[in-house]
A = this chain, B = another copy of it.
Amino acid sequence: MESEVYSKAKAAHEASLQLANAATTVKNTALSYIANELESQCQTIITANQIDIANAKDKGMSEAMLDRLALTKSRIIDIATGVRQVIDLPDPVGVELEAWTRPNGLRIQKVTVPLGVIAMIYESRPNVTVDAAVLCIKSGNACVLRGGSESIHSNIALTSVIKSGLQKAGLSPDLVQLLENTDRALVKELLTLRQYIDLAIPRGGAGLIQMVIQTATVPCIETGSGICHIYVDKDADLDMAVRIIENAKVSRPSTCNAMETLLVHQNIRQALLDKLVPVMQRDAVELRGDTEARMLYENIIHEAMPTDWETEYNALIMSIRTVSSVEEAIAHIRRYSTHHSETIVTENPKTAEQFLREVDSAAVYVNASTRFTDGFEFGFGAEIGISTQKLHVRGPMGLSALVSYKYIIHGQGQIR
A304-331 with Cβ < 8 A to chain B: none
Question: Is A132 on the interface with B (CB-CB < 8 A)?
Answer: no
User: Could you tell me the dominant secondary structure of chain A's interface residues?
Assistant: mixed
Q: Choose among B108, B366, B410 the residue that contacts A410 (Cβ–Cβ < 8 A).
A: B366
Per-residue B-contact encoding for A151-174, CB less than 8 Å = 1, 0 else: 000000000000000000000000
Closest to A105 in B: B368
Q: A217-B213, A334-B17 are in contact. Are A243 and B413 (CB under 8 A)?
A: yes
Chain B residues, Cβ within 8 Å of A366: 409-411
Most B CB within 10 A of own CB, among A106, A334, A409: A409
A341-366 with Cβ < 8 A to chain B: 356-358, 360-366
Chain B residues, Cβ within 8 Å of A213: 194, 217
A219 to B389, CA, bound (A): 9
Chain B residues, Cβ within 8 Å of A207: none
Question: Is A244 on the interface with B (CB-CB < 8 A)?
Answer: yes
Tell me if A360 and B406 are in contact (CB < 8 A).
Answer: yes
Binds B, one of A55-63, A79-87, A372-380: A372-380
Tell me if A390 and B198 are in contact (CB < 8 A).
Answer: yes
Question: Is A271 on the interface with B (CB-CB < 8 A)?
Answer: no
Tell me if A413 and B367 are in contact (CB < 8 A).
Answer: yes
Tell me if A115 and B390 are in contact (CB < 8 A).
Answer: yes
Tell me if B368 and A106 are in contact (CB < 8 A).
Answer: yes
A414 to B247, CA, bound (A): 9
Chain B residues, Cβ within 8 Å of A406: 360-364, 394-395
**Chain copies in complex:** 2
A363 to B213, CA, bound (A): 29
Chain B residues, Cβ within 8 Å of A378: 102, 108, 407
Q: A217-B214, A411-B365 are in contact. Are A116 and B390 (CB under 8 A)?
A: yes
Number of interface residues of A (CB under 8 A): 65
Chain B residues, Cβ within 8 Å of A415: 243-244, 246-248, 251, 368-369, 371
Closest to A192 in B: B214
A23 to B416, CA, bound (A): 37
Question: Is A391 on the interface with B (CB-CB < 8 A)?
Answer: yes
A-B contact pairs, 12 of them (CB 8 A): A17-B334, A21-B358, A102-B378, A108-B379, A219-B391, A244-B415, A368-B413, A372-B411, A372-B414, A394-B404, A394-B406, A395-B407
A166-213 with Cβ < 8 A to chain B: 194, 198-199, 213
Tell me if A357 and B21 are in contact (CB < 8 A).
Answer: yes
Question: Is A405 on the interface with B (CB-CB < 8 A)?
Answer: yes
Closest to A331 in B: B17
Q: A213-B217, A247-B416, A415-B244 are in contact. Are A407 and B367 (CB under 8 A)?
A: no
Closest to A16 in B: B360
Question: Is A412 on the interface with B (CB-CB < 8 A)?
Answer: yes
